[in-house]
Chain A
């Protein structure tokens, strides 16, 4: 299954199939009205099953998380996970700059202290989720970021509950960080559930 098939494409396909069958229903000379209605009902039912089936397939294909940054709200990178190699990219600096950009947006546009929670580009999304003492930013290049938003929230809440206090008091010594990998790797797989 292609990873980046859009749900729109699936719906258009289903509607097209339905249209063809419907046309057939009108063109073919049926013997009586009942047979015709019956045929149309069968067409409608088949199309419905088709739509639901395609939707299920689409739903069950995982969203690919390309990169995840686990950071403090002050811009320090705690952990970085990636599927891509970007040799000239420094993830520590990226985490810092990502935080600086968020600060800039918040301080410039939002008096109430809101938070930037998404940056959208042509081919990828950066979803950002804020806990009290941790921030997770996920870079996603498939076209289904909306499904990850809930997972990201849940993972953030779980990490916060388990490691929040420790990270809030963290002095920068890597050995005091705790084992955040379990939760992060599950999130990275695109199927994070409680």
Chain B
């Protein structure tokens, strides 16, 4: 399992009042006082997410830039947009012109300043407008035409708020994931070798080596694993115990991915 730390700058754009600030406030815990932000015209927030793939965990830190103001203040907006590696374009479904502006104005601006970057288009305020409305339909067909994922959201109910950031996050780490060599289908190893590998892997991911070894010892004893001549059943049982420990020390999803991979190795081993 490899761990990567990725930092990306993402910017929310769209007409005034469509709900950009509200969506970010829904998604992140804010620490900065908004009083100062009004003067500067820009607010920076951050959110860490974890993208888990077989053999790879990506800790993605998204720096989320919210730019105040209308279309007219182009200078400050361009400065803040500079260096953006991902963009969320937001429209208000109750105001169809804000949907049209996504392609005719905002997307153009993004391309002028930072070129082609991962983008998601969002129709906000679904709590007020029917999802089958004209505005929503136009938004979705625009997205399809341009090959940009679209989501319908509400900052008020929280619907699809997390999803829009996760969707963008997935695109942002796609190149890292693609560059990652797939787990090689190695020649079947003996069960003893597999057990050895699992113990090392567990300790490496746990961090605290001494504590990790104690957990391994404890789980292996509980499951009745004989280290010199292990049986597959006993090892599989011990893996469940290790996964429980990892749920606490890592995260649930990481623990599950690890468990599945280790189970596969044990089952495929010669032993």
Chain A residues within 8 Å of B, Cβ to Cβ: 72-77, 88, 90, 92-93, 96-97, 100-101, 103-104, 106-108, 171-175
Chain B 14-53 interface residues, beta-carbon cutoff 8 Å to A: 31-32, 39-46
Residues of B within 8 A of A (CB-CB), count: 29
Binds A, one of B2-10, B181-189, B192-200, B235-243: B2-10
B156 within 8 Å of A (CB atoms)? no
Q: Is the CB of B83 within 8 A of A72?
A: yes
Contacts of B80 in A (CB 8 A): 100, 103
A97 to B33, CA, bound (A): 12
Q: Is the CB of B7 within 8 A of A75?
A: no
Contacts of B65 in A (CB 8 A): 75, 96, 100
Q: Is the CB of B76 within 8 A of A76?
A: no
B244 within 8 Å of A (CB atoms)? no
Q: Is the CB of B9 within 8 A of A100?
A: no
Please provide the 5 A-B residue pairs with the shortest distance between their CB atoms, ordered closest to farther.
Answer: A74-B83, A96-B44, A103-B79, A100-B42, A174-B5
10 contacts between A and B (CB under 8 A): A74-B9, A75-B44, A90-B31, A92-B46, A96-B63, A100-B43, A100-B80, A106-B79, A171-B175, A175-B4
Q: Is the CB of A172 within 8 A of B31?
A: no
Task: From B6, B46, B79, give the contact of A107 (CB < 8 A).
Answer: B79
Shortest beta-carbon distance from B33 to chain A in Å: 11
A101 to B44, CA, bound (A): 11
Shortest beta-carbon distance from A181 to chain B in Å: 16
B94 within 8 Å of A (CB atoms)? no
Contacts of B44 in A (CB 8 A): 75, 92-93, 96-97, 100
Tell me which of A73, A76, A96, A171 has the highest count of chain B C-beta atoms within 10 A of its own C-beta. Answer: A96
Contacts of A92 in B (CB 8 A): 44, 46, 61, 63
A172 to B58, CA, bound (A): 12
A76 to B83, CA, bound (A): 9
Instruction: Known contacts A76-B83, A173-B4; decide if A93 and B45 are in contact (CB<8 Å).
Output: yes
Q: A72-B83, A100-B42, A173-B4 are in contact. List 7 more A-B contacts (CB 8 A).
A: A75-B9, A90-B46, A93-B46, A104-B42, A104-B76, A171-B175, A173-B176
Contacts of A104 in B (CB 8 A): 39-42, 76
Instruction: Known contacts A106-B79, A172-B85; decide if A93 and B4 are in contact (CB<8 Å).
Output: no
Chain B 159-192 interface residues, beta-carbon cutoff 8 Å to A: 175-176
B75 within 8 Å of A (CB atoms)? yes
